[in-house]
Structure 1
Amino acid sequence: MPTPLSWDEQEMDELERRIRNHPVPVDLAEKTLNRCRNEQMELPIRTSRRFLKTKIGAAAAMAVALVICSGYVSPAMAASLKQVPGIASLFRFADDLGLRTAEEQGLLTENDAASTHGGITLKAPVAVYDGTRVSVGLERSFESESSANVSLQEQMTSVELLIDGQSTDRYGKDMGLGFFTFPTTDKNASIIEMSDLKNQGGQPLPDRFELTVRATLAGVDEPFELRIPVERKADQSVALLPDVSREADGLSFKVNKVEFTPITTQITTELTFADDNRMEDRDRAALAYDVEDEQGHSLRVLSGTGHPISENVMVTDTRFEPFASVPHTLVIKPFRYVYLEGGDGAFALDQDGNPKKIYLPELELKIEVPSAPDKK
Structure 2
Amino acid sequence: MNPSEFEKQAQELDEKLQSEKEHLEAEMVVIPDLVRQRLDAFYTQMESEADLLSNRPSSPRSVKRFLRGTAITAASAAVIGFVIIGSAFVSPTMAESLKQVPLVDSVFKLAGDFGLQTADRKGLVTPTNLSVTHDGITLKVSQIIFDGTRLVVALEKQDGEQKVLPLFTKVTPDGKKPEDIIEKIDLFINGKSILSENGPFNSLGWGPGKDSNSMIISYMRDPAGGLPALPKQFDLKVYAKLKGVAEPFALQTTVYKTKLASKVLQPQISKANQYLKFTVDRVEMTPVTTKILTTFTMLVDLKDMPDDYAIERKYISTEGPHKNYTKKEVKHLDYAVIDDQGRELEILGGSGKSISKNQPEQMAMLFTPFADPPKKITFKPYTLLMTPDGRAILDAKGHWVRQYLPEFEITIDVPQNTNQP
Normalising by the residue count of structure 1, what TM-score does the alignment of the two structures yield? 0.70
Identity of matched residues, % = 34
Q: Which residue of 2 aligns with 1:268?
A: 293
Q: Which residue of 1 aligns with 2:155?
A: 138
Tell me by how many angstroms 1:112 deviates. Answer: 2.2
Tell me whether 1:216 sits opposite 2:241 in the alignment. Answer: yes
Report matched runs for 1:115-130 at 5 Å.
115-130=132-147
Query: 2:373, 2:302 → 1: CA distance?
Result: 37
Q: Which residue of 2 aligns with 1:298?
A: 344
Query: 2:292, 2:108 → 1: CA distance?
Result: 23
Query: 1:177, 1:353 → 2: CA distance?
Result: 29
Cα pair 1:210 1:228 within 8 Å, conserved: yes
Q: Which of the two has greater helix per residue?
A: 2
SS in 2 for 1:115: strand
Query: 1:182, 1:340 → 2: CA distance?
Result: 28
CA 1:176/1:167 → structure 2, altered by over 3 Å: closer, same or farther? Answer: farther
Q: Which residue of 2 aligns with 1:192?
A: 217
* 2:249 alignment partner AA: F
Query: 2:256, 2:215 → 1: CA distance?
Result: 20
CA 1:353/1:165 → structure 2, altered by over 3 Å: closer, same or farther? Answer: closer
Regions of 4+ moved over 6 Å: 278-282
Query: 2:353, 2:241 → 1: CA distance?
Result: 28
SS in 2 for 1:131: coil
Query: 1:284, 1:155 → 2: CA distance?
Result: 38
Match of 2:399 among 351, 354, 361: 354
CA 1:350/1:110 → structure 2, altered by over 3 Å: closer, same or farther? Answer: closer
Q: Which residue of 1 aligns with 2:385?
A: 338
CA 1:369/1:200 → structure 2, altered by over 3 Å: closer, same or farther? Answer: farther
CA 1:174/1:184 → structure 2, altered by over 3 Å: closer, same or farther? Answer: closer
Write out per-residue CA displacement over residues 296-345 of structure 1, whole angstroms, 9 at most, x where no aligned residue. 111111111224599822211111111122200000001111124532x3
Q: Which residue of 1 aligns with 2:369?
A: 322
SS in 2 for 1:178: strand
Match of 2:106 among 80, 86, 89: 89
Report matched runs for 1:1-376 at 5 Å.
84-85=100-101, 88-144=105-161, 146-152=162-168, 154-168=180-194, 174=199, 177-274=202-299, 276-277=301-302, 284=330, 286-307=332-353, 312-343=359-390, 345=391, 347-375=392-420
Query: 1:228, 1:277 → 2: CA distance?
Result: 49
Tell me by how many angstroms 1:235 deviates. Answer: 2.1
Write out per-residue CA displacement over residues 23-77 of structure 1, whole angstroms, 9 at most, x where no aligned residue. xxxxxxxxxxxxxxxxxxxxxxxxxxxxxxxxxxxxxxxxxxxxxxxxxxxxxxx
CA 1:277/1:230 → structure 2, altered by over 3 Å: closer, same or farther? Answer: farther
Tell me by how many angstroms 1:275 deviates. Answer: 5.5
CA 1:307/1:187 → structure 2, altered by over 3 Å: closer, same or farther? Answer: same
Query: 2:356, 2:191 → 1: CA distance?
Result: 31
SS in 2 for 1:216: strand
Looking at both structures, which has the greater relative contact order when contacts are Cα pairs under 8 Å and sequence separation is at least 6?
1
Cα pair 1:127 1:137 within 8 Å, conserved: yes
Cα pair 1:93 1:186 within 8 Å, conserved: no
Q: Which structure has the bigger radius of gyration?
A: 2
Tell me by how many angstroms 1:88 deviates. Answer: 2.6
Query: 1:244, 1:113 → 2: CA distance?
Result: 45
Query: 2:201, 2:246 → 1: CA distance?
Result: 26
SS in 1 for 2:184: strand
Query: 1:282, 1:90 → 2: CA distance?
Result: 44
Cα pair 1:269 1:317 within 8 Å, conserved: yes
* 2:414 alignment partner AA: V
Tell me by how many angstroms 1:148 deviates. Answer: 3.8
Query: 2:370, 2:394 → 1: CA distance?
Result: 28
Tell me by how many angstroms 1:209 deviates. Answer: 0.8
CA 1:176/1:219 → structure 2, altered by over 3 Å: closer, same or farther? Answer: farther
Cα pair 2:265 2:282 within 8 Å, conserved: yes
User: How big is the alpha-carbon RMSD for the aligned residues of Structure 1 and Structure 2?
Assistant: 2.9
CA 1:277/1:193 → structure 2, altered by over 3 Å: closer, same or farther? Answer: same
